[in-house]
Structure 1
């Protein structure tokens, strides 16, 4: 074992808005040693995801917050260094929740997904072949249920969830309208085969969206909230389905007073009149689907039917800025930190 210490990033304080460097602390501590039924892993790749912002808050959510002075939560691609668990040997690769640190001791029971280091690439286990890809797959399969000939609109469409949603829908014969921020991301959606690609930062975005959905919207896959959601609402068809897996536009301001008119009564009236299906979900709600997803996505990736984009940054110390970039929409595709 070449490393002499565990480098980790802990939550130093809870932000009230955009997280910054002052909310984290870089530490070096002794490498932990596994007990019976545990393994010591070296985290090689760290996933950066919008949900991490919610884990920095102390309020009620679908998962416990990261404690102050605790290691920041995060999915990792990890290699086993020491095993005290039957059936697991050093050198094997797993998807883990190792957090923002170079080393971690985890119960062997948590290492439920062993990874093939050859194909698909290990980094995809944190993106299109992992949680984000499964979020897209499960949300469409269980809630969106798009049918050939329908129109689907997806926000944050150049990200790891949105890009996968659009491509999966195209495989089903659905007309897909993708919404992204900036010309480069908009053009990328055209490369992926979306029928229409829109830039929500454009001055004429609302008009362009209306022109793109002359027959209305049957499925709206929600990742963003805010102004994009407002632009979508007038175009929803009766019985439209709205899977909600994120509202990233509000993550840095969820505890601040909402400015402007209260739109909730009008929205609830629309839900009733049009019999809309609006369902929030966390991907683990549909864990029973994962084997099916893993089988299908492996085939699509190897056949080139699903494409993906990644941004990989080097060094654990880059994680705080990487998270800020994801929350600001500055990332392009799946953002991964390489720990080496």
Structure 2
């Protein structure tokens, strides 16, 4: 670990507000001074930065209670970081913490808003940003409270190999359900099968509806939606009686598409239950999620898939890949490795 504390650090700022899909050139790296640290704050070095789809909303109208970002502002984001300076004995120098650092190499964080990284032995710390972090809790909450699959039922998951979908499919399979993953390219089919999906549908192919019907001959009992309007329409028109739908993400709307519409007639015909999912509403499941998913990761019963980019300067390109659906698993940017 460096013994000299830097006076400045590199950060990623918004260079221009994206129109439609964000591209790498919408972001720029610049140097800025590090603020002085107070006794109730930590100085940390960012080791692994999490990139998440909700950040796209901040480049438009804002996300929930968070206002929109404009050019020149630092991109927000959560990271696993190493403590370089601390006056708090519970988070000493050298410990790993989770915190909202933003897209930067170093950050000053309030002690109250940092938490120790806890992952099982032989599980990488980056899992705290993925399967054991917010995406994992999202998948777990959808599984437990919205989809509730029973043995033999058919569960469909869009964005099946992403940060949320990669866990959602595995949880459904462990419940005894038939699992069908929807992916954006033929190249992701093999990956989806390694994550336990029984059947895989490629939504960008012209016959994808036929693929869906063939994969779900008894229709769809539970559906986790994180895709576009066309995917939502195709699945909703193939719901089984009493189906459950969890609306988790509207990726095309985030990228500037018109507001998503729901086919009410298909929902009525299936007597389906449709629920919206915001992960912050399910914080009470966090301990249960961490314990159960952590135990499965520790034994190798769950697959951990990460799309790792190296270096802060790659954050913009990594975010472009994420928002265009080219990622394979949870997207993280590695800035430093443990022990360096």
Contact 1:154 1:179 survives alignment (8 Å): yes
Deviations 1:26-85 (A, max 9, x none): 211222232131111111111112111111123563533335432101110111111133
- Aligned position for 1:307: 303
Deviations 1:306-333 (A, max 9, x none): 1021121111011011101111111111
What is the distance in 1 between the residues matched to 2:119 and 2:161? 26
Bigger shift: 184-193 or 298-307? 184-193
Contact 1:151 1:216 survives alignment (8 Å): yes
Q: TM-score, normalised by structure 2?
A: 0.91
Deviations 1:179-201 (A, max 9, x none): 11222211222222222112222
What is the distance in 1 between the residues matched to 2:274 and 2:120? 39
Please state if 1:53 is matched with 2:56: yes
Match of 1:87, SS state, is coil
Aligned pair partner of 2:115 in 108, 112, 115: 112
- Aligned position for 2:316: 320
What is the distance in 1 between the residues matched to 2:221 and 2:163? 22
What is the distance in 2 between the residues matched to 1:163 and 1:21? 25
Q: For this pair of structures, how many residues does the alignment match?
A: 333
RMSD: 2.0
- Aligned position for 1:163: 166
Match of 1:206, SS state, is helix
What is the distance in 1 between the residues matched to 2:242 and 2:108? 48
Please state if 1:282 is matched with 2:282: no
- Aligned position for 2:146: 143
- Aligned position for 2:83: 80
What is the distance in 2 between the residues matched to 1:60 and 1:131? 15
Bigger shift: 15-24 or 71-80? 15-24
- Aligned position for 2:127: 124
Closer, same or farther in 2 for the Cα pair 1:18/1:182, shift >3 Å?
A: closer
Closer, same or farther in 2 for the Cα pair 1:263/1:246, shift >3 Å?
A: closer
Deviations 1:263-291 (A, max 9, x none): 65xx1233334332222222121011010
| Structure 2, unpaired ranges of 5+ | none
Please state if 1:182 is matched with 2:178: no
Bigger shift: 42-51 or 67-76? 67-76
Aligned pair partner of 2:265 in 259, 266, 269: 269
| Structure 1, unpaired ranges of 5+ | none
What is the distance in 1 between the residues matched to 2:268 and 2:234? 19
Closer, same or farther in 2 for the Cα pair 1:236/1:101, shift >3 Å?
A: same
Match of 2:117, SS state, is strand
Match of 1:249, SS state, is helix
Q: How does 1:285-296 map to 2 (within 5 A)?
A: 285-296=281-292
Please state if 1:10 is matched with 2:13: yes
Closer, same or farther in 2 for the Cα pair 1:46/1:306, shift >3 Å?
A: same
Q: TM-score, normalised by structure 1?
A: 0.91
What is the distance in 1 between the residues matched to 2:10 and 2:63? 29
